[in-house]
Structure 1
């Protein structure tokens, strides 16, 4: 009997081993078939028939050798999710994040009955989530974020009772938020951020999620109030409802949640007072900035002993800053700028904590700056400008070596400026203008100081010879002080200097004759001094100089004729002792105020207050054989004879031309959209090759003069030898329909159109500077003023063009009803007028987004656009949205920054792909810049931001791209005058845009570095 049992046991064991081996072989076959379905991606070359799947890095098996986890994150997978994935019968964890998978939600997963974790984030899935999603009843972890899912979140998701992690962020959901989510009693994390829900209120049922630790819902279009039921979320640690449209007061119960450590409510319409019942909460960060909170800062804030970050900026807070705040031992970041706070600052702030950032600007604060701000030795930012602060600047700041930004301008500080601050090792920006500070300039500065502003103070003495050691200086403003003596030659060795203001001092002597090292200089203002001698011709060799002011000095001699080389936007040489004639480039009425009070200057043009150079001829000229009167009579008679001959010839053909013209006019139909200054005859008679300025696939473009004062129109002729084909006819009708009905200063104006049996004419306002692509990529261009060789666009003009084009697209997307999508945004369709104001042109491919029928979407019948500008979703989706234009505009931004053509990135990559590769490899942005703007150091922050904005606009996923309204807001806030550096604490708010790419990958790996990484991106440290 015993032998029989042993035999049976052995048979069973052998059977199980054989079955296990066969099962392992079948799962290996399934995995190899998977690889084949995905076209054998290089990332899975280690999958082979000779090894066990349990040894493959992407696979984890259980004790029986069965696959339970498959991690295919970032493997470059394309296509759909194959059905045979569920041949892995015991699969519990499937991670396919960060690939290029397409199609609708993969219902094939319903056959994976053991699934606990499903991560399909950062792919290109489209369409709605299925209503029967609850068939995956075992799910505990769900991440569907960063796809293109649309419509409603299905209520069935509330039936997944085991769910602990739910991420649906950054999709295209535009329906309601289901209240059934409140039934997920085990839920720990809920991420719905970056969706455009249909103006929903937060379901009060969310208050039932008692185990919830993280609720992440910024930019979800929320309205209404924060539910009172949130007081039941006793385990909540992070609450982010920022950048929505919430209103009403903050529920006082929020501050009673003892585990709450991070609260972000900024950029809403919240009102009322800050609750004072907050002493029992373990908050480490409060950010309720940019709302409408009123009243004063409660004294109870001082009871938050764990508080590290306090952001209350951009509200309507008044009263004093409570002294109890200075007693918080964990406080690191203190930001209350842009309020109505008054009174004195707490004297002990910084003494009891390791304060890092202190920002109290734009208030009504009085008294002294606290002496112990840097008591912890960690302070790196002091921003207190635009207050009523008095007294001396604390000497203790001299030992604060981590300080990199000091902004104390527009106060009433007095006394001598602490000398040790000049040389703080990390100082990069020092702005103390508009005070009553005194002292002398130092021989050496902090090695990294790039911006120094001391205007409107009482600094005196000589400019030190040691100024040549200020190597990193980019902006130096010292207007209206008491500086004296000569400008030292060493000053001209500062090769990175771009902005220099020394006006309103007592400087004397001659200007340095050798200034060629000022290669980056764009602004030079030395007005209102006692400078003498000639203007050195070396100034004319400065390649980037735009603004020059040497007025109200004692300069003498002639203006160097080489001045005509300069491309100045402003010039002021008034109130000097200059002689001779004005250089020809400035000899016109545009510069009539540039040469006032120079009695011995003359001009050829009739410029007020200047002599006419021809009136200075001496009387000896009358000794010529023929007097001027006789010469004039001869010229007049000769001209008369020639004119008579020409008129006789013209009259011979006039009748013939008039008859032919009248005959031609009867065949044309005119449709006018504006008041016209010309007739059909003016246009039709000038459609000759002499007026041809361009041609393309749809026809030719002519430049036609319509007046005697240099007025032109552009005429686009769509023409065919037989009949206009269907495509061209459709483009013509689209152009007329759209441009005939919309009006915007950044959209080209269609004046009228003509149509005949075989031709169509579109008449537009003429853009003197033609198209943007010719300035960025053309070697030379022809205007009505002649041939201009390789003109250079400086950065201010590029930014102006970007803003103008964005305004036009923003109007089309957000202000037109229904919205209009251009579908062919590119640099050749951005036209520039005489002042480089941008106009969007060529609406032949544009589409009006009419409201689709229920269950349908706006779709494409064919791919439209130009190579290099076509978004990647055209490869897998026929749905058309405004994000198509955003992608193309992002390419234009990259063109403006890099100078590269859209289809010439590097090798087989287009510009967007090349730029993303360059950025992801950690290479310096400067290496990618157009050489023509690479030296524009004073604009580098703006250039860097536009570079990164271009990257985000060209994200592969449409949902990752910002709207044109967001793009325009960022570009507008880039456009900051040089005289107004962007304020710390008033940084351009691109966090929701630039954080997206970095946040998703880190959040997926368990990190939560949103704030730090967004700051790093903006500071250029990534």
Structure 2
């Protein structure tokens, strides 16, 4: 067939097409040029950030290829997506000149100002994300004027305050509304329940008033799939209307103060997969007959007051992976069918009243990696298939009544890292394969059972904690454990000698081998244990002398060598240790007790050593015989000679004091006349003469190791008074030292932070230095806590802690070069007229070259009770010594005790750590002046944080930035105090700028989980 022929288009038709196309092309070109001009104006209004360098006027570039710009099919700008671009300033009014703009994504930048109502004019806008910026103030009451087709409004992670306006319930098409991580402290409107199209609602982490309840009207959100109201100060009951949320898949109401029962309707939501109700005050049982939904993947109802039995219906949830019900009052047996769940990976039921045994098939049918059932009334045997699927990492079963042998299957549990089964009735031999099979084994705590077995010569390389006390282990001690920190083998049947040099135990902090059959001597190589704080070798068969090398252990605070056959003299080097506990009783020691140990504090430390003697009757030890064997006349002559010498010394001292006082008076009269040099660090309204005239004895307000502190009148701009720290020099500094001193002062004088005392100037004389600071009316935190000032409530204390942490975080992370204070203590935290804290006294501060770099110092620095352990054995220190000291300050704020008030344990940090380790009630450690149940959860979190900060090893301590993040979670009332909330939250929100806002939220949660679940060494 021949193809059909069509007549060619007529010339008139072609001209008609051209007449239509040419104007359209011209119009499109003009529109594109207008959009280009608009984008260039937006770039200019943002201050021409480098991230927008591709936005330029070159004719060779298509604006649709510019960074973050997307165009529709017609070449018009439809999307601007610029997350994480370091864009600052306010949103430009020209933004809405892009009439086809449907998507605007500027999350995780530094956009400031109030909510940009100019967006009301973006008539095509459907998606708006300005989360993780610096926006402040109230949301406008007419926020419903946003484009009617807007489906997503994301305002997370800003600093919006006040009420959420009721008009927000008039957004007709909204599907996603994210207001989390702001500072909303007003009303939570029920009108949100009018948003019939809403699918996602995030209100988490806002300080709503304590009286805020969940509006029952939220039950009308029938399309809602994701509801996140975590940590929002919510009270009252969960509305029964939530049973109508048929589309709901994710419900998170955790960390609030919700009470009452969990509505039955929630358990009937067939699409619900994730339920998080932990850390509330929910009570009552879970009605098993109400459970219709079997689609759950995660259930966390922990840390409530729930009672009754665990429903068997949980064992029919085939997708259930996480089941967390710990810290409640559940009773009865664990349903056997929970062991059949095919997806179960994490089971936490600890701190309940559960009885019976663990499901026998637990671990056989799923990739179970974590089992925590400690602190219950459970009995029966260890499930033999717990590690059957090769995923088990952690088993925590302590404080129960389990019995029988441990299964042989543990010999092949390659994934095991954490085994904590102490205080049970297990018997038989510990499967020896554990030591070789579990290549990542870090923690073995199996004490207080009846287990037998031997320890390998070389412990697993990653093992950090081994506690086998009160069992029946035999054989020799291991020779190597490279990363072991705690080794407690008290009350076993171990024998043989202690390894000679102990270099294979270089990380040990606790070595406790009391009550065994260990023989031989205490090796001098004990000095290799540079991190050792506790040494217990009591009740063994040790012989020989106590090696003097024990006295070189830099951080040892507890030494128990009692009930052995040790002989010889007590090394004088032991007197150099700062021991809280010393017990050398029941040995064969002889000679005079070193004079530095002849203290009433050690009255029971030397008993049952017949050969020992002492000149101190408080020790209840035989007195040492006099060494003088001459005649009575000779003894009398010696006494007379001594008396004459004493008299001559007293006369000489009197003459010296007279002339010294005269010289001092003359020097004071010459103070004004000598050559003084003032080095100002900012504009001043006083002179050096006014400072020097104020150095009068009646103006002294404090004394320290380096000199006196005076309150001297000054100008109004300086607050009416300044604090002058006077430091004397033994000799005039040479020019080099003088220049170094002034250079360091200039750095400290340049520090500007609301939580650091301002150094105003330095006045230098021939033999003294005057450091002039702003004056702090309310004195030191030390005086408020320990000096009889009026009481500080908990919100006041946590506010002070946050302010001090901000100051230290600034020194460590924002100063260039960083500054380490080196003497953080409560007496160096001063309070202004509004009780705002400021870090003071930089007499020991040192400037470092780079963040985290260690710095050498030739002397031991710090104050007793606050000083980090490494300060005693190394001249290499970093900012972690400040973290340690700050941890002690936190303990002072919580307990009301002084840093040195640790009772029988000596230091406060040691007392607090042991209080926590022994499982004593947290409230018993809390200052009686702040024992308000409302704040107990916050106090507990800060206590755990303090214990982490005072860890023995610097590497285990957090940074001050991390400390500040955690403290901010414990502060609500102070967020609106004098505008400090903006600075605090900006510090928090602007960290890790390269991360997305979701990842930053995750970081916050992980930090909280770290504090909540910390395993304290």
So what's the TM-score if we normalise by structure 1?
A: 0.71
Structure 2 portions without partners, runs of 5+: 1-8, 662-692, 724-754, 758-780, 812-822, 855-869, 891-935, 957-962, 971-987
Task: Give 1:599 shift.
Answer: 2.9
Q: 1:334-733 maps to which residues of 2 (within 5 A)?
A: 334-423=347-436, 424-463=438-477, 467-489=478-500, 491-613=502-624, 615-619=625-629, 621-622=630-631, 627-636=634-643, 702-703=702-703, 716-720=709-713, 725=716, 727-729=718-720
Q: Provide the secondary structure at the position in 1 that maps to 2:379.
A: strand
Q: Give the aligned partner of residue 39 of structure 1.
A: 47
Contact 1:804 1:837 in 2 (8 A): no
Task: Give 1:631 shift.
Answer: 3.2
Contact 1:295 1:319 in 2 (8 A): yes
Question: Is residue 2:278 matched to residue 1:266?
Answer: yes
- Structure 1 residues 524 and 935: alpha-carbon distance in aligned structure 2, compared to 1, 3 A threshold: farther
Structure 1 portions without partners, runs of 5+: 655-686, 693-698, 705-711, 733-771, 775-799, 849-863, 870-891, 912-928, 950-961, 983-987
Of 952, 960, 971, which aligns to 2:945? 971
Higher deviation after alignment, 527-536 or 36-45 = 36-45
For the residues of structure 1 that align with 2:413 and 2:797, how far apart are their CA atoms?
54
Q: Deviations over 1:509-565 (max 9, x none)?
A: 111233343223222110111101011122233333232211121111122223344
Higher deviation after alignment, 246-255 or 511-520 = 511-520
Q: Provide the secondary structure at the position in 2 that maps to 1:391.
A: strand
Q: Deviations over 1:996-1022 (max 9, x none)?
A: 8799955658998997897699999xx
Q: Provide the secondary structure at the position in 1 that maps to 2:347.
A: strand
Q: Deviations over 1:702-757 (max 9, x none)?
A: 439xxxxxxx999853223xx6646433889xxxxxxxxxxxxxxxxxxxxxxxxx
Between Structure 1 and Structure 2, how many residues are aligned? 810
For the residues of structure 2 that align with 1:649 and 1:58, how far apart are their CA atoms?
81
Task: Give 1:146 shift.
Answer: 0.7
For the residues of structure 2 that align with 1:1007 and 1:451, how far apart are their CA atoms?
32
Task: Give 1:175 shift.
Answer: 0.9
Q: Give the aligned partner of residue 59 of structure 1.
A: 69
Q: Give the aligned partner of residue 814 of structure 1.
A: 795
Q: Provide the secondary structure at the position in 1 that maps to 2:314.
A: helix
Task: Give 1:81 shift.
Answer: 1.4
For the residues of structure 1 that align with 2:420 and 2:112, how far apart are their CA atoms?
51
For the residues of structure 1 that align with 2:287 and 2:809, how far apart are their CA atoms?
56
Q: 1:914-933 maps to which residues of 2 (within 5 A)?
A: none
**RMSD, aligned α-carbons:** 4.8
Task: Give 1:271 shift.
Answer: 0.5
Contact 2:108 2:131 in 1 (8 A): yes
Task: Give 1:587 shift.
Answer: 3.4
Contact 1:405 1:429 in 2 (8 A): yes
For the residues of structure 1 that align with 2:464 and 2:39, how far apart are their CA atoms?
58
Question: Is residue 2:212 matched to residue 1:177?
Answer: no
Q: Give the aligned partner of residue 123 of structure 1.
A: 133
For the residues of structure 1 that align with 2:472 and 2:192, how far apart are their CA atoms?
65
- Structure 1 residues 409 and 378: alpha-carbon distance in aligned structure 2, compared to 1, 3 A threshold: same
- Structure 1 residues 9 and 452: alpha-carbon distance in aligned structure 2, compared to 1, 3 A threshold: same
For the residues of structure 2 that align with 1:604 and 1:690, how far apart are their CA atoms?
46
For the residues of structure 2 that align with 1:650 and 1:65, how far apart are their CA atoms?
94
Q: Give the aligned partner of residue 35 of structure 2.
A: 27
- Structure 1 residues 432 and 651: alpha-carbon distance in aligned structure 2, compared to 1, 3 A threshold: closer
Q: Deviations over 1:392-418 (max 9, x none)?
A: 111112211111111000001111111
Task: Give 1:153 shift.
Answer: 0.5
Of 835, 838, 841, which aligns to 2:826? 838
Q: Provide the secondary structure at the position in 2 that maps to 1:434.
A: coil
Q: Provide the secondary structure at the position in 2 that maps to 1:30.
A: helix
Question: Is residue 2:300 matched to residue 1:287?
Answer: yes
Contact 1:195 1:221 in 2 (8 A): yes
Contact 1:543 1:566 in 2 (8 A): yes
- Structure 1 residues 828 and 253: alpha-carbon distance in aligned structure 2, compared to 1, 3 A threshold: closer
Task: Give 1:602 shift.
Answer: 3.5
Q: Provide the secondary structure at the position in 2 that maps to 1:153.
A: coil
Task: Give 1:419 shift.
Answer: 1.0
Contact 1:480 1:503 in 2 (8 A): yes
So what's the TM-score if we normalise by structure 2?
A: 0.71
Q: Provide the secondary structure at the position in 2 that maps to 1:172.
A: coil
Q: Provide the secondary structure at the position in 2 that maps to 1:109.
A: helix
Of 291, 295, 319, which aligns to 1:306? 319
Question: Is residue 2:239 matched to residue 1:227?
Answer: yes
For the residues of structure 2 that align with 1:204 and 1:189, how far apart are their CA atoms?
17
Task: Give 1:900 shift.
Answer: 8.3
Contact 1:731 1:843 in 2 (8 A): no
Q: Deviations over 1:75-111 (max 9, x none)?
A: 1112211212222222111111111111111122222
Q: Deviations over 1:937-980 (max 9, x none)?
A: xx99x989989x9xxxxxxxxxxxx99858624425648999xx
Q: Deviations over 1:776-816 (max 9, x none)?
A: xxxxxxxxxxxxxxxxxxxxxxxx99x999xx999456259
Contact 2:369 2:393 in 1 (8 A): yes
- Structure 1 residues 422 and 173: alpha-carbon distance in aligned structure 2, compared to 1, 3 A threshold: same
For the residues of structure 2 that align with 1:727 and 1:226, how far apart are their CA atoms?
54
Task: Give 1:820 shift.
Answer: 12
Q: Deviations over 1:20-53 (max 9, x none)?
A: 2222122222222222222222222222211122
For the residues of structure 1 that align with 2:644 and 2:157, how far apart are their CA atoms?
81
Higher deviation after alignment, 204-213 or 340-349 = 340-349
For the residues of structure 2 that align with 1:109 and 1:178, how far apart are their CA atoms?
23
- Structure 1 residues 816 and 730: alpha-carbon distance in aligned structure 2, compared to 1, 3 A threshold: farther
Contact 2:712 2:721 in 1 (8 A): no
For the residues of structure 2 that align with 1:71 and 1:963, how far apart are their CA atoms?
41
- Structure 1 residues 164 and 349: alpha-carbon distance in aligned structure 2, compared to 1, 3 A threshold: same
Task: Give 1:837 shift.
Answer: 7.5
Q: Provide the secondary structure at the position in 1 that maps to 2:128.
A: strand
